[in-house]
Amino acid sequence: MTPLVYDGSFEGMLTAVKLVLEKGAKGGEILPVEGSEELLFGGDRVATSEEAARALLTDFHCYAGKRGLRLLLLLFLADTAPRERLIRDYIRVTMEQGKDIGGWLTHPVVAEAVRTARRVAHEAHRFTGLLRFRQLADGSFYAPFEPDYNIAAALAPHFARRMGKERWLIHDRRRDLGIFWDGREFVPAVLDQKVENPAVSDRENFFQECWRNYHRRIAVEGRRNPTLQRQFMPVRYWRYLTELTRT
Amino acid sequence: MFLNTAQKLDILAASAKYDVSCSSSGSRRRGSPSGIGSAAVAGCCHSWSEDGRCISLLKILFSNVCIYDCAFCLNRRSNDIPRATFTVDEVAELTLEFYKRNYIEGLFLSSGIWRSPDDTMECLAKVAETLRFRHRFNGYIHLKAIPGADPNLIRRAGLAADRLSVNIELPTEKSLKLLAPDKTRQAILHPMRQIGEGIVENRAERKKFRKAPSFAPAGQSSQLVIGATPESDLQILHLTESLYNRFSLKRVYYSAYVPVNADSRLPALRQPPALREHRLYQADWLMRYYGFRAEEILTPSQPDLDEHFDPKTAWALRHPASFPVEIHSAGYETLLRVPGIGVTSAKRIIAARRYARLAVEDLQRIGVVLKRARFFITCGGRYGAEPKFNHSPERVRRELLTGSKRASDANQLRLFG
């Protein structure tokens, strides 16, 4: 079967999955358009159909429930993993079984899907704590980060609840994507590297310095344990952690 | 001498670091459009300091001036150290600005007893009230309740904070008299009882009137110092258990004694008793999440926790008749009693066995750690590993012992610091 190429959207991918499942054949590669350049003979371009996507989701929801939908969404954020294959196979096995398979952890398809979704959820939870905002000269807040998965959109509602009055931007520098909150609603943004070092507000450096000092002071010298610290706070995230960077 | 906010923060963070609690869990506050902040039930860690402890709250003292002279405390009256006292607005501003930058989940404010318990408690309550009602801050606030303070002040603190705590400091009255002569057991237990009752009443009230103001919705906790006095682990676990049962505490924290003062009443330790602290936390978990009672974990003939085995393994080794546990039929509580099987593993086993028979390798595949568990389980009648525990418990004990030697104690401690 020729690989199917979709537009990169969740609906587009579900349309492609539906086509593959209707053909009934095993396999059936699905690729987003940005990842399809290396295909030798190109692939069949799938026209995204919201209707088809919704029909598939409705059927899937009957068996897998809310928890199943959440799993699909988490998998879709795992853009550095083989997410199309995971989603396709997970939906296929669910349909074949005619029931929720979320707990069937010994099934290879379920095991891989659940493990991947868990990683995405874990990283998103981690960044509700590890994301660092800085206040810019215009009073808004800016938070750059480089997550393993595409979780900016999953984080945004958390910070909208928390900092609804402020204006802020979460910037995924690995993907050059951003989500801007203007105080009332989200505005998705495609960004480029130029926003590297925007000017900060007058008191920003003072609070950063306070935080760095606090972070140093709060450690008990007799119990130094940098290995443990790294286990919770992997070094690959350090670049944007105010307390671990020097100005 | 006039100190600025940054200098005060320096002094008052260093003074607060021996307080262990940093949890931000147990409260759910919704963000409001006119205010700032929210709190999630699960809590959230924001950073980890060099000692590997999580930083979730801005943990500071309001003041490190103290009229008391407790032997084990850095801030005691007779120590010659730099002293500082914040103003209410300084603490509120630091909390809000740190919070907006997502450094922290909220504030944990404690204090030395300056002038009197009432003066101190009033300042703590004022900080919480300023944050909550003036700045409409919905993040997490943990306040220390000061023993000996007016119950009305403690009530005010509870209406603004998420959690209150009173440190019980030392496990017995006798030790308290020796090391903290200005404090009495009664003065410590009194506010704990008041808070415990306040929480229970408030819960009932909020069932009737959903909008009733909440009183310490994340409960109360306490802390005691381990290894500065001669109490046994059994005494400590009994104390902990009664705090959970009688005052409905959420958490008891243990703090391995770190020598900060030279004092003839204190033992000379080269290293804080970190392994003992770790074992006590394991036992504490067994009581809170695994349905164990203190008297199951330790007995008068064995009053201290084993250095070589975690408390659950030690319990299992004493109870060969309770094993093996059959993975396919055992209930949740029974699975939880297997060494090496925790809450997550037990839940996964129960989910997975509804779909298919599980072999030992399958357990590994779904993420159950078999290092200890394999000796204590059967999968469809087959033992997880030789030697069979109920045939030769002694050999299993030896096997586990050599296994844990290989992963040295230092290594085991890595996980928990």
Shortest Cα–Cα distance, B362 to chain A (Å):
6
Which residues 209-268 on chain B approach chain A with CB closer than 8 angstroms? Answer: 258
**Residue B237: is its pLDDT beyond 60?**
yes
**Interface touch A106/B31, C-beta < 8 Å:** no
CA-atom Rg of chain A in angstroms: 21
Nearest chain A alpha carbon to B34 = A165
Measured distance CA(A87)–CA(A98) in Å, rounded: 16
Structure tokens at B141: 């606030």
- Chain B hits for A241, CB-CB cut-off 8 Å, are 47
The per-residue pLDDT for range B130-145, each reduced to its tens digit, is 999 999 999 999 999 9
B5 touches chain A (CB under 8 A): yes
Q: Cβ neighbours of residue B381 under 8 Å, at least 6 residues apart?
A: B326
In B138-232, which residue ranges form alpha helices assigned H by DSSP? 151-160, 173-179, 185-208
Contacts of B285 (CB under 8 A, 6+ apart): none
Burial of B69 (0-12, 13-18, 19+ CB in 10 A): middle
pLDDT mean over B403-417: 49
pLDDT for the residue numbered A194: 61
By residue range, what is the domain housing residue A37? 4-124
Q: Residues 344 to 373 of B: which have CB under 8 A from any A CB?
A: 348, 351-352, 354-356, 358, 362, 365-367
- The answer to the question of residue B286 being in a domain is no
Query: In the listed set A76, A101, A124, which residue is the last one of a domain according to the structure?
Result: A124
How many domains, chain A? Answer: 2
Contact status, residue B171 vs residue B235, Cβ threshold 8 Å: yes
Joined tokens for residue A175 = 């993907």
Domain boundary among A85, A109, A124: A124
Residues A114 and A220 placed together within one structural domain of the fold: no
**Overall number of domains in chain B:** 2
Nearest chain B Cα distance for residue A29, angstroms: 27
Q: State chain B's mean pLDDT as an integer.
A: 90
In this structure, are A120 and A168 located in the same domain?
Answer: no
Across the interface, of B36, B355, B415, the residue whose CB is closest to A163 is B36
Same domain for B165 and B57:
yes
Distance CA A179, CA A168 (A): 8
Cβ atoms within 10 Å, residue B167: 23
Domain-embedded: residue B279 = no
Contacting residues of B for A98, CB less than 8 Å apart? none
Q: Do residue B414 and residue A134 have CB atoms under 8 angstroms apart?
A: no
- Model ipTM? 0.92
- Whether A91 and A59 share a structural domain: yes
Structural domain span for residue B68: 5-213
Residues of B (54-83) whose Cβ lies below 8 Å from A: 54-56, 58-59
Residue environment code for B289-321, b if the CB has 16+ CB neighbours within 10 A, otherwise e: ebebebeebbeeeeeebeeebbbbbbbbbeebe
Judging contacts by C-beta atoms under 8 Å, the chain A residues touching residue B278 are none
In angstroms, the separation between the Cα of residue B138 and the nearest Cα of chain A is 8
What would the mean pLDDT of B200-213 be, rounded to a whole number?
A: 90
Closest chain A CA to residue B59: A218
Q: Which helix (H) or strand (E) holds B163?
A: strand B163-165
Torsion sign (Cα): B388, B365, B353, A118:
positive
pLDDT band at B26 (very low <50, low <70, confident <90, very high): confident
* pLDDT score recorded for residue B150: 96
Distance CA A130, CA A241 (A): 7
Co-location of A21 and A116 in the same domain: yes
Residues B40 and B151 in one domain: yes
- Evaluate if residue B417 carries a pLDDT over 80: no
Residues 261-280 of B with CB under 8 A from A: 271-272, 274
- Reference B229, options B17, B71, B16; nearest CA is B71
- What does DSSP assign to residue B134? I
How many cross-chain Cβ pairs, A to B, lie less than 8 Å apart?
Answer: 169
What mean pLDDT comes out for the span B254-265? Answer: 86
Nearest to A118 by CA among B361, B208, B348: B348
Per the domain annotation, does B170 fall within a domain? yes
Same domain, A119 and A137: no
- Express each pLDDT in A108-141 by its tens digit: 999 999 999 999 999 999 999 999 999 999 999 9
Domain co-membership, B51 together with B198:
yes
Task: State which of A65, A91, A124 marks the end of a domain.
Answer: A124
